[in-house]
Amino acid sequence: MFDATKEYALKLDLEDESKKFRDRFYIQNDLIYMDGNSLGMMSIDAETCVNRVLNEWKTLAINGWSDAKIPWFYYAEELAKKMSKFMGTSENEIIIHSSATINLHIGLSIFYKPEGIRSKIIMDELNFPSDIYAVKSHIKSLGYEVEEVLELIKSNDGKTINEDDIINSFTNEIALVILPSVLYRSGQLLNIERITKEAHKKGIYVLFDLCHSAGAFRHELSKWDVDFAFWCGYKYFNNGPGGVASIYINKKHFDRETGLAGWFGYKKESQFDMKLDFVKSKNAGGFQISTPHLLSMAPLEGSLNIFEEAGIDNLRSKSLKLTDYLIFLIEKKLSKFDFTIGTPKEHSRRGGHVALEHDDAIRINEAIKNNNIIPDFRFPNTIRLAPIALYTSFFEVWKVVDIIEKIMMNEEYKKFDDKRSTIA
């Protein structure tokens, strides 16, 4: 299917119809960026929207809430309309809001209502720690013992979670299932539709953390009948460091109460009546807490404009080709140095990055960085490489593997310490 020559990589770039979008991003010519699954790169479109909102603040001041190009009062809803196209939802099932972990707390406040023996929560032991911290704190706040309520599905290989093990854990004691769509270390993609369907058969609500899948491929959250989902915007959606996150809630749950009410969840047309009794909007916006982060939403507007132009399915197709090519090159050129791949190879089970594993990953990762490549290390032995469809070239993928091969042949990595830095 592929070959390992430089010329072939350049040929793939010539044939790539989406390469024009690369010019919309600020890319340093002497640097290869392979960490877009942690922080997406800045686009000209994002910068333009930020500058516009800043200028609106400068010239309109408080009147920006009503008189801005997109009135600030409706900014979250307008961006949600754009976002809904990529997440497979109706426009009012999404709201742009706060941060991912805050949104998880909101989901817990809506759906975790332990009653009788149905009091347990299912998660997995490979989940991103922030989600675990949030759930444990919520359990404690309700007066339960974490050990009695939280069940973590075990991994059989330390990389992936068996979906059958998840589904087999669904008993009448389970109140809620909280899972990632894509495991942050290995890049394993779970079958969201299957898990949701099986959970609902047992009367269990399902919450999904989509941080490592939103913007990487098309979701069909409404079709899959997911109850609640949340995701950040700073990875594949390129919304900038700490960029605003999003909430999805299935419309069948619009009448539910939230345990974390705030004034921006109030019925919008009467929000400024300032009455002391909370009247929730009958849509996803009703689960907001506080004033939207305007300067954080602005870059998301610019990024979503690019996504509308590029097409999420086109981006997924290129992403799979990029990671297929990366996997091919790793197996062809790096397996002789005892590298292994921790990411499932099947397209239906793969997110947007490839987990490259090695016992000396810490030192190898430092050597890679020393060669003007930005990878991403995850303890204890994983180097995550994320070629992003909007701005990574096939030649860059080839060059990354070529450089790693030279690092190993020259034993360059041995010059570095085997202790990771504070920020990995």
Rounded distance between C-alpha atoms, residue 70 and residue 53, angstroms: 9
Report whether 101 belongs to an annotated binding site: yes
Residues 128 and 143 in one domain: yes
Phi (first) and psi of residue 81, to 5 degrees: -60, -40
Regarding whether 275 and 201 lie in a shared domain, the answer is yes
Tell which of 308, 324, 342 closes a domain. Answer: 308
The two three-digit tokens of residue 350, written as one number: 């793969």
**Dihedral sign, CA of 42, 33, 24, 97?**
negative
Question: Is 423 domain-assigned?
Answer: no
Q: What is the pLDDT of residues 368-417, one digit of tens each?
A: 999 999 999 999 999 999 999 999 999 999 999 999 999 999 999 999 99
Query: What is the pTM assigned to this prediction?
Result: 0.97
Q: Is 219 annotated as a binding residue?
A: no
Residue 37 lies in a domain: no
pLDDT one-digit tens code per residue, 146-170: 999 999 999 999 999 999 999 999 9
Q: Is 234 one of the annotated binding-site residues?
A: yes
Number of domains in the chain: 2
pLDDT higher than threshold 90 for residue 422: no
- Specify if 286 maps to a domain: yes
Q: What is the pLDDT of residue 187?
A: 98
Q: Taking residues 78-96, what's their average pLDDT?
A: 98
Identify the burial level of 108 via C-beta atoms within 10 angstroms of its C-beta, where 0-12 means exposed, 13-18 middle and 19 or more buried: buried
Across 297-316, average pLDDT: 98
Q: How high is the pLDDT of residue 214?
A: 98
69/124 same-domain check: yes
% of the chain surpassing 70 pLDDT: 100
Look up residue 181 and give its DSSP letter: S
Residue 299 has pLDDT above 80, yes or no: yes
Same domain (yes/no): 216, 332: no
Position 418 confidence tier, pLDDT thresholds 50, 70, 90: confident
pLDDT at 176: 98
The three-state secondary structure class of 92 is helix
Q: For residue 63, what pLDDT band results from cuts at 50, 70 and 90?
A: very high
* C-alpha span between 222 and 214 (Å, rounded): 15
Crossing angle of helices 294-310 and 312-333, in 10° steps, is 80
Asked if 11 and 127 sit in the same domain, the reply is no
Tell me the per-residue pLDDT of 278-297, one tens digit each, with 9 for 90 and over. 999 999 999 999 999 999 99
Q: Cα-flanking dihedrals φ and ψ of residue 255, to 5°?
A: -80, -5
Across the range 199-218, mean pLDDT stands at 98
Domain membership flag for residue 295: yes
**pLDDT for position 115:** 93
Between the alpha carbon of residue 9 and those of residues 206, 247, 354, the distances in Å are 42, 39, 18
Same domain, 151 and 61: yes
Residue 266 pLDDT > 90: yes
293 is in an annotated binding site: no
pLDDT at 370: 97
* CATH for 53: 3.40.640.10
The residue type of 156 is N
Nearest one of 286, 278, 274 to 247, comparing CA atoms = 286
Q: Which of 308, 341, 373 is a domain's end point?
A: 308
- Over residues 173-190, mean pLDDT: 98
Span 17-56, pLDDT tens digits: 999 999 999 999 899 999 999 999 999 999 999 999 999 9
Statement to judge: residues 235 and 332 lie in one domain: no
Given 275, 308, 341, the domain boundary residue is: 308
pLDDT recorded at residue 188:
98
263 marked as part of a ligand binding site: yes
Question: DSSP letters of 381-394?
Answer: TEEEEB--TTT--H
Residues 338, 260 share a domain: no
Classify residue 39: in a domain, yes or no: no
Share of the chain above pLDDT 90, in %: 97
User: Which CATH number do you get for residue 402?
Assistant: 3.90.1150.10
Q: At what angle do helices 312-333 and 394-409 cross, to 10 degrees?
A: 20
Say how far apart CA 331 and CA 314 lie, in whole Å: 26
97 token code pair:
């809001």
For residues 376 and 295, membership in a common domain is answered with no
Residue 1 confidence (pLDDT): 79
Residue 113, in any domain of the structure: yes
Q: At what angle do helices 75-87 and 294-310 cross, to 10 degrees?
A: 30
Domain of residue 383 covers 6-30+311-415
Could you tell me if 315 and 281 lie in one domain?
A: no
Confidence tier at 421 by pLDDT (50, 70, 90): confident
205-227 average pLDDT score: 98
Q: Quote the mean pLDDT of the chain.
A: 97
Whether 420 has a pLDDT exceeding 80, the answer reads no
Give the pLDDT mean for 340-362: 98
Q: What is the mean pLDDT of residues 12-18?
A: 97
Flag whether pLDDT at 195 surpasses 90: yes
| 346 is a domain residue | yes
Q: Do both 142 and 229 map to the same domain?
A: yes
23 and 145 housed in the same domain: no
Residue 241 in tokens: 């460091």
DSSP assignment string, 263-326: GGGB-GGGGGG--SS--B-SSGGGG--S---HHHHHHHHHHHHHHHHH-HHHHHHHHHHHHHHH
Does 212 count as an annotated binding residue?
Answer: yes
In a domain, 339, yes or no: yes
Q: Is 209 annotated as a binding residue?
A: yes
Task: Judge whether 129 is annotated as a binding position.
Answer: yes
Cis peptide before 380 (omega within 30 of 0): yes
